[in-house]
Structure 1
Amino acid sequence: MDHLTPARPQPASHDREIESLAEFDEVVADRGTLAHHRVQAVDLTGRTRALKTLDTSDAVFLGCAMEPAAEVAVRAAGALVFPPVPGLPFDPYRARVHSPEELFASLEDGYEATPDARAYAWFQRTKADGDIFASMLRAVHDDAVSDAVDELLVDARVVGVMGGHAMARGTEEYAGAARLGRVLARSGFTVATGGGPGAMEAANLGAYLAPYQDSVLGEALLPLAKAPSFTPSVTEWARAAFEVRARWPEGGASVGIPTWFYGHEPPNAFATHIAKYFANATREDGLLARSNAGVIFLPGAAGTVQEVFDNATPNYYGSRGEPTPMVLVDRAHWTERLPAWPLLRALAEGRAMESRIALVDRIEDAPKALKRLAG
């Protein structure tokens, strides 16, 4: 049921990208040359003969495993080779976004054994030691993820759903956020969230269960409520999600864009495509910039407030073109507890974005408001 499939980008320069062994074989058969191509994270240990005989001038191999003889040959022919980096819990040259199965591999041994937890541990060890090699690896990884998510979302109508990580499973608020994700997915939108727990997970859950009949969501919420939060045990929290996925395996697609910067927050397993970053600023801007059909802001704390105004700034200045819709949910939250709405409304007055913002009382009103603002 995954309607998000990475599309081959259209610009001519990207036609030279090779991101799988099947694409490599196709290019070799059709073009008979690898000159000027970029080969990304492909295991080429079985293609030594081709690499030794084909023209590889001005080609670039990013994180591609190959036999020593093949590497010598392509370098001699004028290619640049950035070999795989051993010992890392992540691939800095990855050609695809992450999957929940990839990030939570080895969950049966506890969350600490998973690639997600090990990548965070590596980040903690290296983020402040001033090692330029480690910072370069983080930057290369994040740029590769950005390229992958751009390819994934070609022609998609993306609605961002923002909200706090503290929203617990088993609450009406969580169920409401899940229903919102379901409505958006059924309306043809790609749901994108910050990829973490709470409101983010709920929206991804709703999109995941969108292909099923309505009653399935209620059934899925029951086992999830037995592990209401990722604290104190990420392991139990994640296992409950995978149990739901195992019961309903044909889920709908959505996107999560989390960060290892907030390492205490694990990614959720209901975002079928996960673009996880080391740099939170890159992640935040990318998430909002890709929400081309608008953003719905559920109640949240400092992180969600930051996202409101991170999104308002390009709408205010028109730096991304026409302003995109912004819907804030829960009047009391956004006018009394954290009064972001009055400031947002004051900023918007007299500008193009004024007709693209709305405040609604109930989460059920958000899709209709989004449609109205989109014109």
Structure 2
Amino acid sequence: MRRSQVDTGTTDQRLLDSRGPTDWVHADPWRVLRIQSEFVEGFGALAELGPAIGVFGSARTANHDPAYAQGEQVGRLLVEHGFAVITGGGPGAMEAANKGASEAGGISVGLGIELPFEAGLNQWVDVGINFRYFFARKTMFVKYAQGFVVLPGGLGTFDELFEALTLVQTQKVTSFPVVLVGVDYWSGLMDWLRGTVLAGGKITQDDLDLITVTDDVDLAVRLMVEAREGHGPTADKPHQPE
């Protein structure tokens, strides 16, 4: 730094001097440390998790909704096939998958996010982490999950779904099955992708082939098992998230 940009204070001074305003807590350099701490905490908590599948779905799914029962079934079957279950840790479909996993005696993980309208992790989470930053949380999902099962959901679910598909499309992650559970719910989206996006040349058929849509929870779990055992459509490539 030169001329007017020379800082008259020192880093040590600012560290040791407790006087003055607290704006430094919210400054970008300090946020870097917070971001770093979230990665360290996430890596430390999940490093020995073992094979795991991310399950996504709406926080607004009521416990009498058929999608809730499907979420429980997904969680239970994944555990029975040797997977841990990772969700966003919230209520609704996420709670259902955590409940199924926990009741089956498996590892039920919740990666929560600081939001103004959700109250912490659901009661079925055995290993929970709360994040401030979406991108740190998303990294944990992709790094420690070997595939995604996606139940009916809203904008947050769409975000997670399309980010996963983008990472697979660009080969940032490989051998990563993505299954949408709920044919009636997802068929409109698939029709639009096929009839508008694919027809307009914005994606390829290979991109569409990354997605499986089904009402069969057993099939959804079987695809996860096949990918793990090297029999899935991208089984020739190891799972190596960047």
TM-score, L = length of structure 1: 0.48
- Distance in 1, Cα, partners of 2:190 & 2:43: 30
Indicate yes or no: 2:85 matched with 1:191.
Answer: yes
Post-superposition shift, 1:348?
5.5
The one-letter code of the counterpart of 1:327 is V
- The correspondence of residues 138-149 of structure 1 with structure 2, limited to 5 A, is 139-149=32-42
Q: Gapped runs of 5+ residues in structure 2?
A: 1-14, 232-242
The one-letter code of the counterpart of 2:148 is V
Query: Match of 1:10?
Result: none
Gap change, CA 1:318 and 1:173, over 3 Å in 2: same
Q: Greater Rg, structure 1 or structure 2?
A: 1
Query: Match of 2:75?
Result: 181
Indicate yes or no: 2:217 matched with 1:335.
Answer: no
Q: Deviations over 1:175-232 (max 9, x none)?
A: 2211210111121111101111111111111111113xxxxxxxxxxxxxxxxxxxxx
Gap change, CA 1:341 and 1:151, over 3 Å in 2: farther
Gap change, CA 1:142 and 1:201, over 3 Å in 2: farther
Bigger relative contact order, structure 1 or 2, given CA contacts below 8 A and separation 6+?
2
Q: Secondary structure at the match of 1:255?
A: strand
The one-letter code of the counterpart of 1:131 is D
Determine which of 130, 136, 157 is the counterpart of 2:51.
157
Gap change, CA 1:141 and 1:269, over 3 Å in 2: farther
- Distance in 2, Cα, partners of 1:315 & 1:133: 37
Gap change, CA 1:174 and 1:138, over 3 Å in 2: farther
Aligned residues: 202
Q: Deviations over 1:100-132 (max 9, x none)?
A: xxxxxxxxxxxxxxxxxxxxxxxxxxxxxx934
Determine which of 265, 278, 302 is the counterpart of 2:132.
278
Indicate yes or no: 2:23 matched with 1:131.
Answer: yes
The one-letter code of the counterpart of 1:333 is Y
Q: Secondary structure at the match of 2:112?
A: coil
- The correspondence of residues 227-306 of structure 1 with structure 2, limited to 5 A, is 252-260=106-114, 262-266=115-119, 267-291=121-145, 293-306=146-159
Q: Secondary structure at the match of 1:257?
A: strand
Q: Say whether the 8 Å CA contact 2:112–2:130 is kept in structure 1.
A: yes
The one-letter code of the counterpart of 1:263 is P
Q: Say whether the 8 Å CA contact 1:196–1:256 is kept in structure 2.
A: yes
Indicate yes or no: 2:199 matched with 1:349.
Answer: no
- The correspondence of residues 82-121 of structure 1 with structure 2, limited to 5 A, is none
- Distance in 2, Cα, partners of 1:162 & 1:183: 15
Q: Say whether the 8 Å CA contact 1:182–1:203 is kept in structure 2.
A: yes
The one-letter code of the counterpart of 1:326 is V
Q: Secondary structure at the match of 1:258?
A: strand
Q: Which 4+ stretches in 1 moved above 4 angstroms?
A: 135-139
Q: Say whether the 8 Å CA contact 2:102–2:125 is kept in structure 1.
A: yes
The one-letter code of the counterpart of 2:205 is E
Gap change, CA 1:137 and 1:268, over 3 Å in 2: farther
Determine which of 103, 106, 118 is the counterpart of 1:209.
103
Post-superposition shift, 1:139?
4.7
Post-superposition shift, 1:159?
0.4
Q: Say whether the 8 Å CA contact 2:179–2:213 is kept in structure 1.
A: yes
**What percent identity do the matched residue pairs reach?**
27
- Distance in 1, Cα, partners of 2:69 & 2:85: 16
Post-superposition shift, 1:288?
2.9
Post-superposition shift, 1:373?
4.8
- Distance in 2, Cα, partners of 1:182 & 1:310: 26
Gap change, CA 1:350 and 1:183, over 3 Å in 2: closer
Q: Say whether the 8 Å CA contact 2:81–2:225 is kept in structure 1.
A: no
Q: Which moved more, 1:307-316 or 1:133-142?
A: 133-142
Gap change, CA 1:177 and 1:131, over 3 Å in 2: same
